[in-house]
Amino acid sequence: MKRAAFILASNPLTLLGVLLVSLVVMAAALADVIAPFPEHRGAVVDFVNFNKPPGGDFLMGTDVVGRDLFSRILYAYRISLLMAVVVLAIAVPIGVTLGLMAGYMGGRWEYGLMRVTDVFLSIPPLVLALSILGVMKPTLLNGMIAVTAMWWPWYTRLVYNITRGEKAEGYVLAAEVTGASRAHVMFREILPNCMPAIVTKMTLDAGFVILIASSLSFLGLGVQAPTPDLGSMVAEGARYLPDQWWLSVFPGLAILIAVFGFNLIGDGLRDILGGDR
Amino acid sequence: MSALLDIADLRLSFRLWSGTVEVLHGISLSIAKGERVALVGESGSGKSVTARIVLGLIQELKGATVSGRIRFDGQDLGRLSPRARHALRGTEMSMIFQDPTSSLNPVFPILRQFREVLARRTPRISEAEARARATEALREVAIHEADRVLASYPFQLSGGMNQRVMIAMALANRPKLLIADEPGTALDVTVQAQTLDLMRKLVADHGTAVLFISHNLGVVREFADRTYVIYRGRIVEQGPTAAVFADPRHAYTRALLAAQPRLTGGALPEIAERDPAFENPMEVHP
Amino acid sequence: MSLLVLWGVSVLIFAIARVIPGNPARVALGPNATQDQVDALAAALYLDRNILVQYAFWLRDLMRGDLGRSLYTNRPVTQDIAEFLPATLELIFLAAMLMIVAGLPLGILAARFRGRWPDHVIRVFSLLTVSAPSFVWAVALMLAFAYFLPIFPIAGRLSEAYSIPRVTGFLTIDTLLAGNLHAFANALRHMVLPAVALSLSGIGQAARLTRANMIETYEKPYIEMSQAYGFPEGRIARTYAFRPSLIPSLTIIGLDIAALLGNAFLVEAVFGWPGLSRYGVQVILRKDLNAIVGTVLVIAALFLIVNIIVDILTVLLNPRIRLGEARP
């Protein structure tokens, strides 16, 4: 603990990461309170105030139908964080369990599971999610399914590699000799040793899921209008470059801040916990 | 006669997360030209960092504070610019390491590394000249198939062969001081003995002074003219090797000697982790 | 091994393509088509047969190099891919080069000056670059260097003033074949912003990875040896510490280059780059099954090719494996 505190204190960047992520989480949680125009999250049209540059009542300006960009970004953070939480909550347990099985049980399990993982890993992540969404309706739920489908193999491979190393360790042998069940050895003995790497990767991935999700909606394959989403806001705004620059710059900056925050924390955690490379 | 290396009241401390830790508490040590001096102690006693301070490697670490005076060949190392200190490495002083195989770069052939060492003395040395000089240096360590060895990668050679290569490299630029940090401890005992013999003969021929760092008293007895015993960052006993071994006066030296394996057999006594007598003042043999 | 994975990919893609709800033929033809037209198309696509039969037919056609017709362009998918692939490859090739020539030296620099200001600057830079999707960088670069400072063209591959006969489809090659240096420079200028946008996060990844692996290498006895012998610090970093660290980095760098294939979808969209990725987005939005499957399959094949090249490089760079002393 003391060591962790020392590392944190000598790592102002990690502190910055904690600050950024706290800001993003608070923005999303308190959007109803903070947002100057909460109703602008939906299909509102205000032709009096359309295309207003940043300033005055509109901190980040307004879009082509007069909605306050700042308010929409706050609500868009909700979608981003929800996406990150749901995807990781589903993908990590699946990936970790399969990785433990492949690494610990060996034999046919290892061969079969790792070949399937190889297949998933040999399509660029974004392309896999795109092709899944290509045949489904672009909704938030399907977006989550698509991103989850591309995510679990990375955890399988990470945990598989650690498990293979740990399998030969004395404590595993000791548990086996005392007659512990396979499930006990995998989840109670080996898993705790994978945790530092998993936690580090999850922190980095929280940012990465937000990034991929925004990429999907940027291509029109994620959350659909009028729900605000950072990726689709950038796509929409890019059509009005360079005059209404704020329409794409602020949502882009919002993505950068959130992902940067998670990356800073993940990087710091890696120093503290060790963990994946 | 003036000493080649003269260390006085050397202190080293590291700033760590738990505060500042002093590792060396005022080491004084001198080596005459061509003299072989051993620094003996257990791991963690500070003998290896002393060697690295002489080379100037520790001073560049973040969080390390070095104080005291180190004179080498008439120069005060503490006052030299980093550039001037750097110029001494590989030319006036060189070093041999514990594990020869892992001390050679695994992705470059021996010749490439040998040439880099020779270039310290002869910048822009041609490949042909480097090959000729390396072949000559390898002959000194009884390697006669120089072409094959020079074309090899370290992992293709035996540990003993790598150790000879290391010795050849260390002496190729005719340094005044050779630092040997537990040389060959990673090797078989017989191979270690052979290479040490070779090294002793060569340094005697070239008049190279040696700072020999070891925990192995048997080896020290064979090799060194004078011996310093170091315990927890302090020198506890010093003197001619024969005198120290014949008449160990400090409690720690006696404990260390008692813990050496002997041919006569018998169980080894453990060295106590700490003992008040170990903190006694330094014993000096004339 | 690679072939097995490629086959697995084909099964996976095929499976994804056929879980589509509703009748793809109906989706393709739109609501105005008659039922007869829909049935005819469904029969042509073997949609009326059992899924295994569909896969068998599809695989047979694939072996003949026939990926079917695109319902969007109404041309053979292979023809579409042949038309759009070179533009994407050209872009990815340049981005991969940028990634390597910028990312690796940055990583070397950071490792050499670990804990000092160059390290901190490079760390923040590389974390920033990996913290935004490439379309954000694309928009930012376009705004800065095409609109605000009009140095580079806004979109497209070549100014309309030039007309270059298509030989390879790679404009940098075709312009040179045509002997038109102005057109070559023009094509190159069009590539700069998309390639930089595409490579930025790769540069950051490569720098981070190189730094991490080199810092591990710096702990090795052979680096201490080279320092004890006073090898020049710059040479230690660039050569003696970098080369051993490159071997474990290669696989990941290969993955990052392959990830460019995905990110090209985002960058091509911003810069209106007429490549395979933009085609991919079009066909995905139109649920054009044959074209989706074909595009993804080509990308997966490219991905495998990159991996094979990486494996070969690993062998060449690691003397231990090259000389048969150890297995990869």
Interval B26-46: pLDDT, tens: 999 999 999 999 999 888 888
| Dist CA C220 CA C237 (whole Å) | 13
Peptide bond preceding A242: is omega within 30 degrees of 0, i.e. cis?
A: yes
pLDDT number for residue B282: 82
| Dist CA B212 CA B193 (whole Å) | 14
Residues 238-267 of C with CB under 8 A from A: 258-259, 261-263, 265-266
Query: In Å, how far are B141, B164, B183 from B194, measured between CA atoms?
Result: 11, 10, 12
Q: Which other chains touch chain A, taking contact as 3+ CB pairs less than 8 Å apart?
A: B, C
pLDDT band at residue B264, thresholds of 50, 70 and 90? low
Domain with CATH 1.10.3720.10 in chain C: 80-287
| Dist CA B37 CA B244 (whole Å) | 13
Domain coordinates in residue numbering, chain A: 2-37+60-276
- Partners of C231 on chain B (C-beta within 8 Å) are 90, 116, 120
Instruction: Report the range of poorest mean pLDDT among B96-110, B243-257, C91-105, C276-290.
Output: C276-290
Q: Is the pLDDT of residue B202 over 70?
A: yes
Amino acid (1-letter code) at residue B243: A
Q: Is the pLDDT of residue A149 over 60?
A: yes
| Nearest-CA distance A192 → chain B (Å) | 26
Contact predicate B39/B50, CB 8 Å = yes
- Partners of B17 on chain A (C-beta within 8 Å) are 2-3, 6-7
Enter the CATH code of domain C80-287.
Answer: 1.10.3720.10
Structure tokens at C53: 């039969």
Size of interface B-C (CB pairs under 8 A): 74
Strand ranges in C165-303 using DSSP code E only, listed in sequence order: none
Structure tokens at C31: 């609501």
Q: Is the pLDDT of residue A276 over 50?
A: no
Q: Is C244 on the interface with B (CB under 8 A)?
A: yes
For the domain made up of B3-284, the CATH class stated in words is alpha beta
Q: Which CATH number among 1.10.3720.10, 3.40.50.970, 1.10.260.40, 3.40.50.10860 corresponds to the domain A2-37+60-276? A: 1.10.3720.10
What are the strands of the beta sheet with B3-16, ordered from one edge? B19-32, B3-16, B64-72, B75-76
Identify the residue with better confidence: A9 or B51.
B51
Which among C224, C230, C244 has CB closest to B107?
Answer: C244
Instruction: Report the range of poorest mean pLDDT among A38-47, A179-188, B209-218, C246-255.
Output: A38-47
Q: Which residues, other chains included, contact A172 with Cβ-Cβ below 8 Å and sequence gap of 6+?
A: A166, A185, A189, A190
The percentage of residues in chain A with a pLDDT greater than 90, rounded to a whole number, is 34
CA nearest to A217, candidates A142, A272, A161: A142
Identify the residue with better confidence: B6 or A268.
B6
Q: Is the pLDDT of residue A93 over 90?
A: yes
H-helix segments, A67-139: 69-105, 107-121, 125-134
**CA torsion, ordered A205, A207, A213, A214, to nearest 10 deg:** -160
| Nearest-CA distance B109 → chain C (Å) | 9
**Which of B103, B162, B179 best probes binding to C when mutated, by most C CB atoms within 10 angstroms?**
B103
- Partners of A6 on chain B (C-beta within 8 Å) are 17-18
Q: What is the mean pLDDT of chain B?
A: 89
CA nearest to B180, candidates B221, B202, B212: B212
Q: Which residues pair with B181 in a beta bridge?
A: B213
Q: Which residues, other chains included, contact A70 with Cβ-Cβ below 8 Å and sequence gap of 6+?
A: A35, A36, A58, A59, A60, A250
**The Cα angle at residue C240 between residues C239 and C243, in degrees rounded to 5:** 65
Identify the residue with better confidence: A222 or C78.
C78
Domain coordinates in residue numbering, chain B: 3-284
Are C284 and A127 an interchain contact pair (Cβ–Cβ within 8 Å)?
no
- Partners of B82 on chain C (C-beta within 8 Å) are none
Contact predicate B87/B72, CB 8 Å = no
Identify the residue with better confidence: B96 or B61.
B96
pLDDT tens profile B212-242: 999 888 889 989 999 999 998 999 999 999 9
Average pLDDT across each block of 10 residues of chain C; the chain has 328 residues. List them in order.
Answer: 77 75 65 76 73 82 82 87 93 94 96 90 94 94 90 85 83 87 91 94 93 92 94 93 90 85 89 89 82 86 86 86 66
pLDDT band at residue A1, thresholds of 50, 70 and 90? low
Closest CA in chain B for residue A6: B17
Q: Is B19 on the interface with A (CB under 8 A)?
A: no
Q: How many residues does chain A have?
A: 277
pLDDT band at residue B268, thresholds of 50, 70 and 90? low
- Partners of C230 on chain B (C-beta within 8 Å) are 86-91, 120
pLDDT number for residue C328: 45
Closest CA in chain B for residue A7: B17
